């Protein structure tokens, strides 16, 4: 069985989606990026440059998960959009309109159960953690670890504090919670840890040009060897170790996951012609 890695932000668009994609593209085995952000998904218009999939996304999956959970869990991996040519990293596109989030609220437990039933890890981009309706709380609760993605600034740490308290109430403790620091800022990781009471699990550097490849589908040569992806390759094992230590603390030692390395994904597998046919990305 795989694990769920949930990523949330304290707001301010620090780079949750970018971090989810950077981690997925350097993950050592099959992985699904699930766009669970109640504010809407951005991978199709961003990384994939306007590619429109054949109609299967979070809403359709949620309906199927409510109707027939076993079939939804079994079919999920076959329905997803590949992020790399080898189809090792797949994405479940998110909502296209934030107004869908309220209607989706009752479905999150069923959706979380289908993620937990996958044979591969799931990186869930849960967007900004807020107090409103439609938050994917069931996904957070099912996660082996919840990473609060934030910029190294006092403003972000300030915004993260109540969110960490919300996670403590939801999960019963902050054992599964860690900070994933990303992008520009000067607030030291050590101070962040002591201010927020949870560890910094990894740091992704300020690398705007690599980030734009992931967030906006920009082209960049030597993206895979850039600072962001180099750090993401180091961050993934730290997240997995943290998750495994939490699982074994609850249930005893687990069999090691299949760690057969696979190459870092660089380019989306979506052919440019598909993007052009969809009428997007002409001005890329």
Ligand X SMILES: Nc1ncnc2c1ncn2[C@@H]1O[C@H](COP(=O)(O)OP(=O)(O)OP(=O)(O)O)[C@@H](O)[C@H]1O
Residues in the site for Mg ion, rule: CB under 5 A?
16-17
Among 61, 89, 128, 163, binds ligand X (CB under 6 A): 128
Rounded Cα–Cα distance for residues 137 and 126 (Å): 9
Nearer to ligand X, 16 or 147 (CB): 16
User: What does 207 bind: ligand X, Mg ion, none (CB cut-off 5 to 8 Å by kind)?
Assistant: ligand X
Q: For the CB of residue 40, give the shortest distance to ligand X in the complex, in Å.
A: 8
Among 23, 35, 37, 185, binds ligand X (CB under 6 A): 37
Q: Write the burial class of residue 248 (CB in 10 Å: 0-12 exposed, 13-18 middle, 19+ buried).
A: exposed
Containing H/E element for 125?
strand 121-128
Beta-carbon contacts of residue 16 (< 8 Å; ≥ 6 apart): 7, 8, 9, 37, 125, 126, 127, 128, 149
Q: Does 183 bind ligand X (CB under 6 A)?
A: yes
Q: Does 94 bind ligand X (CB under 6 A)?
A: no
Going 156 to 158 to 162 to 167, the CA torsion angle's sign is positive
Taking Cα atoms as reference points, which of 34, 17, 119, 90 lies closest to residue 265?
Answer: 90
Among 3, 17, 153, 176, binds ligand X (CB under 6 A): 17
User: What does 58 bind: Mg ion, ligand X, none (CB cut-off 5 to 8 Å by kind)?
Assistant: none
Q: Does 215 bind ligand X (CB under 6 A)?
A: yes
Of 63-71, 209-217, 244-252, 253-261, the segment contacting ligand X by CB under 6 A is: 209-217
Containing H/E element for 72?
helix 69-75
Return the SS3 of 208: helix
Among 3, 153, 176, 182, binds ligand X (CB under 6 A): 182
Number of other residues whose CB lies within 10 A of the CB of residue 282: 9
Q: Does 208 bind ligand X (CB under 6 A)?
A: yes
Among 145, 228, 232, 235, binds ligand X (CB under 6 A): 228
Among 4, 6, 16, 143, binds ligand X (CB under 6 A): 16
Residue 19 near residue 229 (C-beta atoms within 8 A): no
8-state DSSP, 154: H
Q: Does 18 bind ligand X (CB under 6 A)?
A: yes
Q: For the CB of residue 237, give the shortest distance to ligand X in the complex, in Å.
A: 18
Return the SS3 of 164: helix
**Tokens matching residue 201:** 């699990």
Q: Say how far residue 61 (Cα) sits from the centre of its chain.
A: 17
User: What does 15 bind: ligand X, Mg ion, none (CB cut-off 5 to 8 Å by kind)?
Assistant: ligand X
User: What does 25 bind: Mg ion, ligand X, none (CB cut-off 5 to 8 Å by kind)?
Assistant: none
Q: Does 219 bind ligand X (CB under 6 A)?
A: no
Binding stretches for ligand X (CB under 6 A): 9, 13-18, 37, 42, 127-128, 182-183, 204, 206-208, 211-212, 215, 228
């Amino acid at each position: 069985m795989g694990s769920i890695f949930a990523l949330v932000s304290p707001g301010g668009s620090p780079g949750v989606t970018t971090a989810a994609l950077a981690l997925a593209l350097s993950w050592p085995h099959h992985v699904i990026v699930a766009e669970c952000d109640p504010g809407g998904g951005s991978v199709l218009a961003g990384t994939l440059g306007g590619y429109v999939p054949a109609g299967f996304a979070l809403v359709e999956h949620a309906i199927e998960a409510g109707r027939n959970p076993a079939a939804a869990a079994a079919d999920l991996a076959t329905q997803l959009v590949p992020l790399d040519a080898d189809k090792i990293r797949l994405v479940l596109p998110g909502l296209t309109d934030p107004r869908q989030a309220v209607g989706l609220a009752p479905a999150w437990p069923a959706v979380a159960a289908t993620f937990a039933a996958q044979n591969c890890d799931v990186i869930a981009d849960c967007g900004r953690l807020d107090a409103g309706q439609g938050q994917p709380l069931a996904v957070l609760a099912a996660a082996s670890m919840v990473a609060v993605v934030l910029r190294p600034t006092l403003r972000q740490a300030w915004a993260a504090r109540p969110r960490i308290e919300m996670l403590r109430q939801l999960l019963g403790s902050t054992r599964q919670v860690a900070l994933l620091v990303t992008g520009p800022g000067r607030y030291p990781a050590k101070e962040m840890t002591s201010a927020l009471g949870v560890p910094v699990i990894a740091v992704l550097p300020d690398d705007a040009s690599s980030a734009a490849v992931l967030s906006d589908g920009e082209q960049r040569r030597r993206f895979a060897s850039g600072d962001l992806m180099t750090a993401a390759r180091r961050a993934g094992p730290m997240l997995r170790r943290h998750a495994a230590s939490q699982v074994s603390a609850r249930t005893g030692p687990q069999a090691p996951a299949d760690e057969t390395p696979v190459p870092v994904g660089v380019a989306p597998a979506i052919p440019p012609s598909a993007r052009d046919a969809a009428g997007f990305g002409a001005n890329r």
